[in-house]
Every structure is written in C-alpha cells, then in structure tokens.
A and B are shown apart, each in its own frame.
Chain A
Amino acid sequence: MRRLVITALIAVALSTSVALTLAAPPARAGTPTQLTLANDPLWQGDEEAAVAALMRDLGNGPLIDIPPSTSNWYNPVTSAPVTSSEVSTGISELQLEAGTLPYLMTVGSIAIGGAGAIYTGWQVGQFFRRIIGGEGNPAGSSTIYFWPICAGTGITGQCTSTSGGALTGINGGIPMIGNDTSTTFPYLHDGYFLSTANSASSNDRAWCEPTTATGCNTGVFTGAHNALMEGMRDWILSKGVGKEFTNTTSIATQCSSGTTPMPVGTCHALVISPQGLAKILQFQPDTQSGFNGATNQRSEGGWDPSSQTANVQKVRDRCQNSTDHNIQGACMAIRYYIAPSYDPSTGTNPGTGTGTGTSDFPIYFPQPLPGETVTEYAERLRSKKWLGTISITDHDMSTYPSGSAARQQQPGTLLSVSTATDTATLYDTATGSEVPWPTNPPIIPDQTTAVVLDEVPATWTPEPGAGGGINMPTMNLPDCTTPKFPFAFICWAQAVTGWFNVTPDAPDFDFTIPDQTVGGHTYHVGSHYDVDLNVMDGYMSTFRSILSVVIWVGGIYWLAVKLLGFHPGGDPGEAIDEGIEP
C-alpha cells in the first residue's frame, strides 16, 4: 500500500511538472501568423470594454477636421511636422488604449494602401462583430455583395422605389435605408448595413458595381456615407439599437449628380452582412476582387509586417495627404496621443503648421474604477498627458448617511472629480448610494486645467458593509518586534540559533612575555608574540566546505533512518523498499 501511495505521489509530481511545462505560453514567433477571423486572438479575448472606451473617447472628441489636401501633417502643439517616432508612439498609445498591446501583430491592422482602413476602424469592426455575433448573411454565401438601388433588376420586393433609394424587404423585411427624401435613415440593430457606392477607381470608401455602372464619381455618396459613419459612431457610443441619423441629400440626387451622373438603377449600394460590416470596417480595398478576397486587415493595403518603420512612414504619409474621413479619423485618433492638448474643432488648422494649441484638446475624465484611490486615478489622468495640478480634498463623510455605501469606502478612495466648472460625483450626497458615471463625462478643457479630486479622509474608519468589496481588517498578529507569550519562544529560538551563525575568524593569539630578572640579571626571553592562524584561511575554508557537505548528507541520512524509519542496506533501491514496507 505504501508503495502505491509513494508511486501515486511521484506520478502526481511528475504530471504536475509536465502540465506546468505544457501550460507555459509558447514564445511568439518572430513573424506573426496571418490573422483571420477564426484565429484572431482579439476575437477570442475580452476587449469589448476597452474598445468601447476607445470609441467613447473618439466619439466624444471634437469633429474630425479635414486639413487642406496639400497639407503636411503637423503636430498642432509644437507646429512641427509629425515625426515617425511620434506616429509610432501614437499608434502604440492607441493600441494600448484599446487593450490590444499584447497582440502586437494587430499593428498590421492599420491598412494603408487601400482606403481609409484604420486600426480604429478595425477595432470598431471587432467591436461590432462581438456585438452582432457575425451572423445573418442574407445571401447565404458572400458576406458582401452589391445591390442596385431601386433598379428593378429582379430583386422583387427588395427595392420598392426608383426615386427614393428605399431598400426594404431584405432578409425578412428588414429595411436598410428609409426614405432618403425624409432625410431620415433608420439605423437598425438587427438588420444589415449600408455602405455607399461610388467609384471603382477611387480609393474612397464608396463603391459602385463596376460591371454595371458606367461611371462613378468620387463624392457621390459622401454625404450619405458620412452620415452613416457618424450614426454608426453614435450607435457604438450608446451601445444602443435603432439609431437614426439624418442626411440632407437624397440618394437619388446623389446618384444622378456629380461630375459623372448616372441613373439610379446603375448606382449600387454595397450591402454587407454583419460579417461584411466587420470586414468593411477592417479595410477598404481598392477593388472589388480585393474586397472579396481579403480575409483580414493585413491582406489589404500596404502594410508590411516585417517593417514597422516603413509602416509608420506610410501612416504619416497617409495622414499628411489624405482627405478621406476614415483616414482622418484614424489620424485624429493617433494624433490624439501625439498632441492631446490640441482641439481641432476650435484650434488652428494643423495642416498649416501654425497650430499653437491655444485651444486645447479636451480630456475626458476617465470613469473611476471600483474602489480606486485618488492616487491611482491621478496616474490615469497623467497617462492621458494631462499636465494640470491636482488638489486632493478630504470629503466630509458626515454628509453621507450612516450605513450608506459611501461611508463603507476605504480611506483614500476617490469620491468625486471636478474642475472649476464641472463635477462628477460617485456617491449621492444625500443618500450615500453610488451614482452611475455620466454618459458624457466632465471635460478637462485644457491640458493644464486644475482638477480637484475628493477622497475619503485618511482618518476615516470605514463602516462595515459591502462597500469596496471584501475588506481585510487589520489584525495584530504576533511578531518578534513586540514578542508576546507564548509566540516569543519561537523568536528566542531564532535568536539563539542566530548566535551560532557567525563569520569564521582565524584565532589570533597576541601576547607579550616580559623579560625575566634572576639574581639581578635580566634575561631577554622575548617581548611580543603574535600567532595568527589566518595564514590557513584558504585551507580551512575548503575544509569547512567539505565538512558542510558531509554534515548535510549525514543530516539527511539521519532524517531518513532515525526519524522517518528508512532502513538502508545493500542496494539503495532495496533500502527504499524496506523503508516503505510496513
């Protein structure tokens, strides 16, 4: 039986070691594998909150400014051209904000060569994909296809008007586009989404079916598309459904106007399923074949996974030269981390290179984490490149009623954030209960605006309760600094054993023999003698080491034989067997 137990213990130990070895994360290969929807680690992760936070920040920011087409891309604060280093930093910060930094391969999500493909967009795509589940392809095949707008090309029931661009009835009567003449576009939570059709040759986000459209011109659907994108953004921000947005230009007008007008029937909408939406938000290719053939964001565009430097340069070039809203959105997101103090909605045009940052980019108070201290919160504020002063004030806890959640908080816990003009409190002063963080959080309007953080005073003793989660109370456990009976005996044992742990020192006998006087005669027998054995230090050190090994072996042997009952003799294997036999 003992043999069985010992064998089982050894087996458990070995299996644990093997399991731990196998569980260790594999080293990342130097060249990342290509991301697909199936193996995308982000898809498997839980970055929804991070992406939502990212989108909230982006969405709450000022409107995207479009610099002149001939602009250079400047740091609006320093008025100097944005450097590659700044771009790289901005991308990294953006990724960090999105919570994807561990997946460095997603750097490749910033597609350059296509059109408007951006990391942020890819993140949005991931976000959408998580929400809508990636299901519901109406065609049952391709996730993306082109739909003629009211062309009457055999799509009965799905295109009811030749004048309004009202696509209805797709996949069970879910309308995609409402009556454009009413300037209202219902944005549906469970339907399909529209991206606009435009030029086959343009790298704009719009698209026209190249086999039927005789010509498309850039800008035909720009208004509709922008409205769609803005509505999409609002939808993301609110996490809501059924978002509506307006557009002042009818689709019909858009189709039939422009530099190269075309009939409504030849103007196509790019209809995409949720998968397609995720896809289109990942990249915007130049060609339909590229669109259909792309499986991930890296397969399109000019991203070079092997050269980060080249990619950064491409991003910068793209941001400098493009007027595409999507690209500018990405640039704004990146630039936010380069120059967060710049407010393009009211500041000078960064494209001119004269931006001085006189009107700064607003920084939004981040939502406090549960039980977050003012110190921790201040660090997060600093991470947003906010440079203002922080005033920490002790809250008068008596303002909260006894037993309330506020009075259960630990000292140092953040209770409210405020500027001179704006305040957000975490607990209701009257009831002491938690207050939901506002959808539109307070703004720190300037990079140097002073902030006041209200905290639980250090002298406050939290009331028992659920506030702040499980509280580990302070216990005066025994220790050797204030020895208490009977625990101090352990301290004594420790002290006594410590007496013998001394540094070896060679004996040194230093003595003096005085002269001896016998019968009036003095004999000089010597004066001073110093016998120091340190000349033997080297040898004695080796000797002590050998002794130490012998002592350790003897100690273990003694433990096994005398204390644990092993009885060696002959073959060591037999000794073990004898030891474990009853």
Chain B
Amino acid sequence: MLNSILDIFVRGMVALVNAVLGAFATAINAVMAILPSMPNLPSLPTPFVTAESWVAWFFPVGTVIDVLGTVLALWLVWNVIAIALRWGKGISA
C-alpha cells in the first residue's frame, strides 16, 4: 500500500516536472518562431583576403583579435562577479 502511494506520488511529481519542462519548451519554441531571421554576412572579396594575409604576415592581427575577445570576455565576467562581491561588501562600488 505504501509502495503504491509512493509510486503514485513519484509518478505525479515526474509528470509535473515533465509538464513544466514541456510548457517551457513550447514557450521557447513559440518565441523563436516569431523572431525574424537575419541574413548571413557576405563573403569577403578575394583581394581583400589576400591583403589580410599580407598584413598578417607583418603583424599578428589574429592574435590581437583573440586578445581583445578574451579581455572583453574576462571583463564581462568580472562585472558579473563584481555584482555579487559588491552585494557581499567584498568590494566597494
């Protein structure tokens, strides 16, 4: 009897979780369906690509891009962490 009750309870909880997840997925899919599409960027002209290669031969442009991307990402992460640290008085505003 107890097992049956527990089984019903577990099944009910699983069904509830599944229903919530299903509703969440349905909402996400609905929002995504109404969002407009954006075009892809065009390809670069070949002479421009050649010029980039030449520039890159003199100077590591790709490295600069990588460093900028990393610094930007770390800066964003720090700003998120800083919110919690300020809240905890770990750092000043």
Q: A-side interface residues toward B, CB under 8 Å?
A: 1-2, 4-5, 464-466, 469-478, 482-485, 488-489, 491-492, 495-497, 499-507, 533, 540, 544, 547-548, 551-552, 554-556, 558-559, 563-564, 580, 582
Q: Does B47 contact A (CB under 8 A)?
A: no
Q: Given contacts A466-B12, A466-B14, A544-B60, is CB(A555)–CB(B91) below 8 Å?
A: no
Q: Is the CB of B57 within 8 A of A470?
A: no
Of all chain A residues, the one with the shortest Cβ separation from B11 is A466
Interface residues in chain B, defined as those with a beta carbon under 8 Å from any beta carbon in chain A = 10-15, 17-19, 21-22, 24-26, 28-29, 32-33, 35-41, 44, 49-50, 52-54, 56-71, 74-75, 78, 85, 88-92
Task: Give the 8 A-B CB pairs with smallest separation, nearest first.
Answer: A505-B53, A473-B25, A555-B67, A488-B38, A466-B14, A5-B90, A466-B11, A582-B92
CA distance A478 to B59 in the complex (A): 35
Contact of B91 among A2, A505, A554 (CB under 8 A): A2
The answer to whether A464 touches B60 (Cβ under 8 A) is no
- Is the pair A552, B91 in contact by a Cβ cutoff of 8 Å? no
Q: Is the CB of A563 within 8 A of B71?
A: yes
A484: B residues at CB distance < 8 A? 32, 35-38
Q: Which residue of A lies closest to B39 (CB)?
A: A483
Instruction: Enumerate chain A residues within 8 angstroms of B65, measured Cβ to Cβ.
Output: 497, 500-501
Rounded to whole Å, the gap between the CB of B73 and the closest CB of chain A is 10
Could you list 17 examples of A-B contacts with CB < 8 Å?
A2-B92, A464-B18, A470-B17, A471-B22, A475-B28, A475-B29, A483-B39, A484-B35, A497-B65, A499-B44, A500-B65, A504-B56, A506-B54, A544-B59, A555-B68, A563-B78, A580-B91
The reply to whether A485 and B71 contact each other, CB–CB distance below 8 Å, is no
* Bound CA–CA A505/B57 (angstroms): 5
Tell me which residues across on chain B come within 8 A of A563, comparing CB atoms.
71, 75, 78
Partner pick for A559 among B15, B18, B71, CB 8 A cutoff: B71
Find out whether the CB atom of B60 lies under 8 angstroms from the CB atom of A465.
no
Residues of A within 8 A of B22 (CB): 464, 471, 473
In the bound complex, do residue A500 and residue B71 qualify as a contact, i.e. CB atoms below 8 Å apart? no
Cα(A501)–Cα(B25), bound, Å:
37
The answer to whether A555 and B18 have CB atoms under 8 Å apart is no
B21: chain A residues within 8 A (beta carbon)? 470-473
Instruction: State A155–B29 Cα separation when bound (angstroms).
Output: 81
List, in ascending order, chain A residues with CB within 8 A of B18's CB: 464-466, 470-471
Residue in A closest to B42 when the chains form the complex, CB atoms:
A495
A558 proximity list for chain B (CB < 8 A): 71
Given A469-B14, A502-B49, A548-B60, are A474 and B69 neighbors across the interface (CB < 8 Å)?
Answer: no
Beta-carbon contact of A504 and B85 below 8 Å? no
B57 neighbours in A (Cβ, 8 Å): 504-507, 533, 540, 544
Report B-chain residues with C-beta under 8 Å of the C-beta of A503: 53, 56
Cα-based distance from A503 to B60 in the complex (angstroms): 10
Across the interface, name the chain B residue whose C-beta is closest to A541: B57
Verify B38–A5 contact, CB threshold 8 A.
no
Report B60 CB to chain A, min CB distance, Å: 5
User: Which A residues lie within 8 Å of B10 (CB)?
Assistant: 466
Across the interface, which residues of B come within 8 angstroms of A473, CB to CB?
A: 21-22, 24-26
B29 touches A476 (CB 8 A): yes
A495 to B50, CA, bound (A): 17
B residues near A488, Cβ cutoff 8 Å:
37-38
CA A383 to CA B87, docked complex, whole Å:
58
